[in-house]
Amino acid sequence: RMDQALLLVRNELPAQGLRLAALSGACHQCMYQFLAFVPPSNGSLRNPGMTAVMVDTQHPLALLLNSSVGDREFCKIQYHFGEFGNYSLVVKTLSTSTKTVSCELVINEGPINSYLPILFAFLVYMGILAILIVGHLFMKIDPVRNWVYNKLNPRETDHLINSELGSPNTTDSISSDPTPPLWSTASRQRLRSLDAFRGLSLIIMVFVNYGGGKYWFFKHESWNGKLYFPSALFSRFVFIMGTSISLSLSSMLKRGSSKRKVLGKILWRSFLLILLGIIVVNPNYCLGPLSWDNVRIPGVLQRLGFTYLVVAALELLFTRARAESGTLETPCPALQDILPYWPQWIFILMLEVIWLCLTFLLPVPGCPRGYLGPGGIGDFGNYPNCTGGAAGYIDRLLLGEKHIYQHPSSSVIYQTTMPYDPEGILGTINTIFMAFLGLQAGKIILFYKDQHKQIMSRFVIWSVVTGIISAILTKCSKEEGFIPINKNLWSISYVTTTSCFAFILLLLIYYLVDVKRLWSGAPFFYPGMNSILVYIGHEVFENYFPFKWKMQDSQSHAEHLTQNLTATTLWVIVSYVLYRRRIFWKV
């Protein structure tokens, strides 16, 4: 099967049965798991004991061979098997006098290169990009450009887009300075970099949710670990949501909307996001009525809705017009975009204190205090029912086991049996912190207006600061830090690490799209403009043609990758068509 290899264990030891166990290299502090019993040889090399087992090829494996009687260890082998490979492990006696046993791993049939489909897909998309670049060059020819513009009539679309909330322009500047504003005519347009950032995160999220070609590195980390693509996507979406909050609230208030009216919009939007989230994560299309006993309450949109409510209300409550004008004098110029918002920072720090206290001080029955592990066979199997520690306990206590996610990513490698929700209650605190850091990015854009060097330098500073905090919390290690990086827990180190990269990514896109205008943000700009529609649409129509079809070979990475890339590309096309038709779904 996919991500598996065949291992034939050949036992040439007479009267010695063997026990084969394996340990995944991705499983931290785990116990060896029994795979198979290998019968002894009948004394003839022509009739050895034989057993065939399937072994995992996603991560390196440690194989342990013990005697079935007395637990004598014969050999231990570490090897990274290849997908669809055929291997033999031959166990024999080298010397009858010393009873020395050797274990030799033989490749009977070499594995396939399962990464070639990725290379092929990359070349295809590079070819498409080359065609688009050539088309862009043709657009510089006046007759061609005039004909296309007359057909597509983009001015009306641009007018509609720039009337949407969230574009810092001349009227958004909250300055009492009578001097002419510094915004150029081009700067009056919506910041395309924000939509490109949002769209990039969203499209990769859609690809991953559709399966990511069934490659292991396009899946979420089992527990603690490196930040592969999937682990950082949701956090970047949260980050840019915080940035948009700062710009949109500034736009609404400068257009004369009262705080009460704005608060009403915040409450309504949060309610809709949470409601849509509950509907999306509990599909029952052709399965009959959904039982209320099994409704999953947490989810991505639910967390986005609650985070939006807290961060937007916090910004609305403590917003200070003069602080955003760039003219407010502060005792420390280096902190002039932070000090005016000290009440907000105190609130956020109080939330972090609550998270730390609940995580490390809350007593969890049957678990050590402050436990952050995956449970299951992790930590040598001492705490099998402690998945997520306090975070999992709070969800099970307040929501009930049947109302949270039943198949956490830790269940594969760590073999956890407890339900655990990565979008649970306790982790929402740090999601608020993540959105608040994004809010800070939006304040920097407003505060420094079109002072590009100042904006980009502040992004660099914030990236360095959050990166240093991450290095301290994790001790620059995967498992040995004070607070490891963990997407399931939404640990503080996860937030600071993903924020570090989010500031850098936003800086690069801002520089390319809005400063130098070397890139229009396409094609990610279009789904970024209809992010809620694309996200909900890809969830609802996930199992419908043309986003999914019956495969000829369900064990082929190439077919899965083709299907997932096709579905993702279709959503980009849908968002582009909606953009050209001036259809934008705002919640």
Q: Which amino acid does the sequence have at 228?
A: Y
Q: Which neighbouring-strand residues pair with 65?
A: 20, 75
Structure tokens at 289: 């009525």
| Closest of 159, 189, 160, 149 to residue 584, by C-alpha | 160
DSSP summary character for residue 180 = P
Query: Which of the residues 59, 80, 220, 403 is marked catalytic?
Result: 220
Structure tokens at 187: 């700067």
Got the DSSP string for 102-127? EEEEEEEEPPP-TTHHHHHHHHHHHH
| Closest of 497, 502, 493 to residue 460, by C-alpha | 502
First to last CA, the chain: 43
Contact 227/485 with Cβ under 8 angstroms? yes
E strand or H helix at 514: none
Active site (annotated) includes residue 538: no
Assign 3-class secondary structure to 195-226: HHHHHHHHHHHHHHHCCHHHCHHHCCCCCECC
365 three-class SS: coil
CA atoms 269, 587, 349, 480: torsion sign: positive
Structure tokens at 226: 């490196």
Q: Which amino acid does the sequence have at 311?
A: V
| Enzyme catalytic residues | 220
